[in-house]
Amino acid sequence: MGHVSGSREYRRLLVALFFAGIATFAQLYSPQPVLPLISETLDVSPATASLAVSASTLGLAAAVIPWSLIADRIGRVPAMAIGLVAATILGILAPFSPDGTVLLGVRLLEGVALGAVPAIALAYLSEEVDARHVAAAAGSYIAGTTVGGLSGRVVSGFAAEVGDWRVGMWAASALCVGAAVAFLVLIPRARGFHPGRFHAEGGAGIAGRIAVNLRTPMQLALYAQGFLLMGAFVAVYNYLGFHLSAPPFSLPASLVTLLFLAYLAGTVSSPWAGILASRHGRLGVLIGGIGVMISGAALMMVPAVWIVVAGLLLYTGGFFAAHAVASGWAPAAARRDTRAQASSLYYLGYYVGSSLFGWCLGFVFTGIGWLGFLTAVIGMCVVSAVLAILALRPTAAGDRR
């Protein structure tokens, strides 16, 4: 039996994964608030500047499957620890890069190392926590990722105000060192999984475990949620700073950085979504989260700062509610010996979407403007909701999803 809600080990597990989320996502997104500075300093387009983020998310996307294999061999906790330590070292080294090409190379490697946590954390959680509490626990983990994304952006943005983009990224790396140490101290030893167990039991190899999930329509629909929703989400945060720095807003960089506090909406909505999904079923909460995203994107079309802020809050809260449900659903719905691969495939789609749309929607933004950009974002959300309704509906009486 796994850890139950309220127990000491359950609390330690959630707090440790909370810090893992901070250490991972603060590093991953620390360049985002300084993208306009990178664009100006290096004299490149917004889409090119966004590669400072996309290089890491692409590396992460490429690494999630290999990390799931490593975790099956050496264990969940050691694999996450190795990834976090390597990523933290690379995060400290990245700002020393002498030019943009080296920076992108280091950021790519940093993303590869960071892939360990999202590839493994939810599989580890689903094996260590009692099944009744998995959805709520997954929501709590996602809340930690929102704090990581927020803190990395805010720390980097404000530090860059007194220095430059390099100072900003170093400040975020210092935060990640402390969070990584906290994870290593607090994380409980795995007891629901033993390295090499599936091999010893004669289970399918890595290709077979991946294929099982790729042949399952329900899993494919969940991976599509990550691909489309994350792509839409990262694109908005990549280009919102450019939009608000230009007329008619002309906001200074310090005020644009404050907009990343909207991530707190996700810190609230993700555990709340997990609790609602445990009580009432996952599908309704997922669709509700997407609907809130669409409403928020529509509000951001209005050329008034406070309405844009309100829309961003709704958009962010809706995204993290949907992501908390979909990311926890993938490993929970997978066959027992394919959970790590199910989670990794979800995050593969998630970060491929982030890398692809976070970059290519920049051409939409520069080509046809903010309204056309948001129309494309809303279209992606609609497609995601339609796929969820078609593939994730209950298939039998009493089959509450």
- Which range among 188-192, 254-258, 358-362, 386-390 shows the weakest confidence by mean pLDDT? 188-192
pLDDT at 48: 78
* Mean pLDDT (whole number) for 25-52: 83
- For residue 201, give the 3-state DSSP assignment: coil
Q: Is residue 401 scored above 50 in pLDDT? A: yes
Across the chain, mean pLDDT equals 86
**Cα→Cα distances 239→34, 235, 254, 355, Å:** 11, 6, 16, 14
- Which range among 4-13, 85-94, 377-386, 391-400 shows the weakest confidence by mean pLDDT? 391-400
According to DSSP, the residues that pair with 3 across neighbouring strands are 129
pLDDT for 12-23, tens place per residue? 888 888 899 899
Q: How distant is the alpha carbon of residue 28 from its chain centre?
A: 9
CA–CA separation, 338 vs 347, rounded Å? Answer: 14
Q: Is residue 200 scored above 50 in pLDDT? A: no
* Mean pLDDT (whole number) for 84-92: 94
pLDDT at 364: 95
pLDDT at 99: 74
The radius of gyration computed from the CA coordinates of the chain, to the nearest angstrom, equals 20
pTM of the model: 0.76
Q: Is residue 309 scored above 70 in pLDDT? A: yes
Share of the chain above pLDDT 90, in %: 39
CA–CA separation, 291 vs 289, rounded Å? Answer: 5
pLDDT for 330-370, tens place per residue? 988 888 778 778 888 898 898 889 889 988 999 999 999 99
* Mean pLDDT (whole number) for 82-90: 95
pLDDT for 218-231, tens place per residue? 999 999 999 999 99
Q: Are 168 and 34 in contact (CB under 8 A)?
A: yes
Residue 314 burial by Cβ neighbours in a 10 Å radius (0-12, 13-18, 19+): buried
Q: Is residue 400 scored above 60 in pLDDT? A: no
**pLDDT band for position 155 (50/70/90)?**
very high
User: Residues 6 or more apart from 175 whose CB is under 8 A from it?
Assistant: 22, 26, 151, 152, 155
